[in-house]
Structures are given as structure tokens and as C-alpha cells.
Chain A
Amino acid sequence: MRFWLVLLLTVSLFGGFDAKLTISKKADQRVHVAVIDGSFPTERTRKLHAIFVADLKISSHFLPDEMYRTGSYDSKRGTPALRTQRYTITYRYDEKDTDNTLWVKVVNPANAKVIMEGRYAVSNPAKYPFLVHKAVSEINAHLGYGSIDWINRYVVFARYTGRKQSEILLADYTFHYTKVIIHGGLNLFPHWGDPQQKSLYYTAYVQGRPTLYRLDLQTGKRKIITHSTGMIVCSDVRKDGRTLLLTMAPDGQSDIYAYAVATGKTTRLTTFRGIDVNGVYADQGASVVFVSNRLGYPGIFKRDMASGSVSQVVFHGKNNNSVDAYGDTIVYSAREGQGVFNLYLSHTDGRGGRPLTLSGINQFPRFSPDGKTILYIKRSYEGNAIGYLSLTTNQSLLFPLGDRKIQSLDW
């Protein structure tokens, strides 16, 4: 009897929380660090502190003390009270019209030795989050950890503003910085056109006809790529930027096509009479994974690019309607009851099925450029948020998104 009660208690305490247990084990391997605001404290400098903490957390290499502290940026003395921390990061922020500067200093609190010091500036004050991202990615590199340069990238996303109305925005990964770049009418499915984020593809409706555009972010010029009756979506861009994966429906039938940017030639990749959408390159371009209802419900399938054969790759769930791939790893969203969508990690050969989320509506999963972090949108009782999940530490972060519904995103 005692055995069963202890077993029941153990299961109830730890069952379903395995991810957090993994965090606590791996947390000990991460470097303890405290962040100190050396500026004249304002609401903005407090936000900078929060962004520092978020960046350090999502790096998977640091375990930041979340307490907001203030201190002198120029102090030459050590900080004995913070001796339990391996490093302190002290920052000072000055905001002027076109000269917004962040000074950052990494110090060993035990002996006051300066490990690294940097100055970061931006002309547009709204872009202050990027100063912290740049600083943390450089600190991370200086200390010899694996690159986290993805935190310097923009996220592009579309959000609904009304009926048949949506706008496309740029954001930093924490969504502290957002800027509308396309508005008016229905603007959907933005997707980066190149790894340097100099261009993007998106869909707009021109007199009711779905049209695919390419926008050059440096010149502001946009160009019509192609259009299709019914719907058109650019769901992936090959790494070299030369081929797009499009969902088109020239005869009212949605299928996946490869589109050669240089020639405009389209090649139909799927011919199913139902729904095939959301094609993304996998296995280093040797295959395309996509969502199809060929079993009568949305599921995840793969098309081998050499043979053209199609096979099922996810055998879990009856409603898997979104997928992304990095190499042979895929992440997908599975509907599990009324109002519950969870994310799972799997492989293109059918292996795996690791749950990544446990509650709420978790959708639009996207791998980071290094494949180590997943971005997703979470809708739950607490509200909408953009989520990040480190696959190496299981550390997750959520940033509030406000009330408007995200239509799609890419980073």
C-alpha cells in the first residue's frame, strides 16, 4: 500500500513535467550571470534589463539572475554580494534623437576584472532592442559559446486588422520593436526571400485575385512574381534563393509547385485531388514535407524529389495542419481536442514524436536558422504570445503579443 501511494505521489508530482526536470538538470551547466543597470533608471532602461535577461536565457548558455539591479557603470570595485555569479553585465543607455548608444561591460564580480566591453549605437531609438541582442550575441561569442546570431534577425509577420484586412510587419524576436511595412487590403503569408533578409515574398489580393509579390526592402520596390486563381502562398524559399515552393490552385485545386525564380518556370510537385499545402524543403533539399488531407484529415507527408514518391512521415494524431523542417528534423502542430494544439518534434523517416508543448493553442512552428530553437505562436487563457523553445535545454520564453491575431510569420 505504501509503495503504491508513494508511486502515485511521484507520478502526480512529476508526470507531465519532464521537460522542466530536464531544465533543472541542465541548468547547473549554464553560467550564472547578473545584469546591472548603470544608466539613470527609466522605463526604457528597465525594458533593456528584461531584454538582456531574455537574450541570456534563450542562448541556452547562461542562467541569468532575473532581479533588476542598479549600480555605477564606471565602478572599478568588485561586487562581493554577487560573488555567486560568474559574471556581471553592467550597461548604460543614452538616448538622443539620432544617437542612441548602449555601453556594455562584462566583469568578474570576484576580482573586478573586465572581461569585455562594447559600445553599440543605432540612429532609430525604436530599434533599441537590437542593441541588446547585438551585445549579448557578441558576449556569447567572446566567451566561446556556439553562435546565437539569430537573435539579431528580424521576424516578419502578418496580422489581421479587420475583415479582409491585414498588414505585414517587421519585429525583433522579442516583439519589443515592431514596424508596419505593408498595409491596406489583404496582405498575407510573408516569407523571407534570402538568408540576409534583404527581400521578402508575400501574397496580396488584387481585385480579388491572389497575387505573389517580391518586396526589395533596401529599395522599397515590389514586383509581381505570379498569380493564381483561388489562392497562392510562398511557403518556402530554397537556401540559394533560386527556387520557391508555392501553394497554387490554377484550376481551383491547391497543390504544391516549385517555381524557378530566374525563368519563371513552374513544376507541379503534388497532384492529389484533395488539399496539399505548406510545402517546406527537408533533408537538405532532397525532399519536401507538406500538409495533406489524403487520409481524410490533415497529416504530414513527404515527397522525395528524386523519385517523386509520396509517403506519410507522421503517424501520430488526426489533425496535423502545420509543419516546418530543418535537415531531417520536423516540427508540427497537432490538434488534440477542442481548443488544444500542441507542437511535436519528429523526423522525416518517421522516427520520434517528442512533445514540445502541453497546453493552449500552439501554432506556426518555425525553426531558427541554426535549427536549435523553435519560434511559435501560443494562444492560451492568459492571451496571445510569441514563444521560443530551446531544443537543447527545453528552456522556453513567451512574449505577449496583444489582441490582434497573427496570420503567419517567418524569421
Chain B
Amino acid sequence: MKHTYFAIFSLALTLLVGGCTQQRAPIPNDQAGFDAGGVTGGVDSHGKYTGSDGTSRSGFHLLYFGYNSYQLDRGQIQRVLNDLPQIAAAAHRGHIRIEGNCDEFGTDEFNYALGLKRAKAVKALLVNNGIAASKVSVVSYGESNPVCRGGKPACRAKNRRAEINKVP
């Protein structure tokens, strides 16, 4: 009888564990063609990319954010301040556009708004440091503009970013 109890218990346990496993299915990498390399940093406890690599098309540092966050931390603020003379010069000659971006998680409409808040946070920092608000525009590209594609957390974190670019 003990063997019967054990068999029933084992079967029940197997089914329970099997059920749990089914609910934790990983997701596929469903968009090929993006650079999955170039990830030198990790991810902090807020989901922010910790690497210092990455520049925009105009050569300014990329600015990274935590999961669902649009707050610039001290390290990211310093990256902006390091670029400030060049950004100010570019704004003087033309115009600056800040592009906000997100990772692939979440629904796209929320992600577009989140990207916009990230861009707006960077704009506020530039304006607070003397760049005319009229010289800076913001736009969100949501999750449509990833710099890294892959399942690794650091790769996804690299997409939670803002880019500062010159507009001629």
C-alpha cells in the first residue's frame, strides 16, 4: 500500500511540476537581423544597462534607463554633461533631436509614451544647462529602433535608452 501511495504522490508531484514548467515557457527571439553583439556591460537591480559603450549617430553618448523608468541617474547625467559643450555647439548651429527608445516588452502604445518620457527627461536636463528649449525637439520610436536584439537581459537593457542627435 505504501508503494501505491508513493506512486500516486509521485504522479501528482510530476503533474504539478509539469504544469508550473509549462507556464514559464521562454519566449523566442522573433526578429532576426539585429546586432546581438557589442554588449560589454551588465544590468543593475533597476534594469539599467551598466556598460559605458554606445554612441548616437551624431557621436553623443547613449543614455540608459531602468525598466519602466524615465529617470536619469547620476551616471547618465554625467554622460550628458561630458557631451554638453559639443551638444551646445550643435544646437547653436542647428537643432537637436532627442529620440526615446524602449525594449520589446510591454504594449507598444505604452512603450511609445515611455520612450517619449525618456526623451523629455534628457531635454529637461539640456534646458536646465543652458540650451534653449526651442532648439531641442523630442520624438519616441518605442521599440521600433533596437540597437541590440537577443534574449539576454543586458541586450534588452541596452535598448532602454535615449539618443541625442543633430538635425542639420
Contact = CB atoms under 8 A, between A and B. Distances in A.
Interface of A: 1-2, 5-6, 8-9, 11-13, 15-16, 160, 162-166, 186, 188-189, 205, 208-210, 229-231, 233, 235, 247, 249, 252-254, 274-278, 291, 293, 297-298, 319, 321-322, 333, 335, 337, 339-340, 358-361, 363-364, 379-381, 383-384, 403-405, 407-408
Given A291-B109, A297-B68, A380 B27 contact: yes
B91 to A, nearest CB: 16
B30 A379 contact: yes
B33 A275 contact: no
13 contacts: A1-B5, A13-B12, A13-B15, A163-B146, A188-B108, A208-B137, A252-B120, A322-B110, A384-B30, A404-B30, A405-B30, A405-B31, A408-B109
B26 interface: yes
Given A339-B25, A340-B24, A363-B107, 20 more contacts: A9-B11, A13-B15, A163-B146, A164-B144, A164-B145, A208-B97, A210-B139, A229-B139, A230-B119, A249-B113, A252-B120, A275-B114, A277-B109, A277-B110, A361-B27, A379-B28, A381-B28, A383-B30, A403-B30, A403-B32
A247 B142 CA distance: 14
Contact of A252 (B12, B23, B105, B123): B123
In the A-B complex, list the 7 residue pairs whose CB atoms are closest, starting with the nearest. A322-B107, A254-B113, A381-B25, A12-B12, A252-B120, A12-B15, A275-B113
Interface in B92-120: 97, 104-110, 112-117, 119-120
A230 B116 contact: yes
A191 to B, nearest CB: 11
Given A322-B107, A384-B30, A231 B68 contact: no
B26 to A, nearest CB: 6
A321 B30 contact: no
A375 to B, nearest CB: 14
Interface in B117-168: 117, 119-120, 123, 137-142, 144-146, 167
B37 interface: no
Interface in B10-54: 11-13, 15-16, 19, 22-28, 30-34
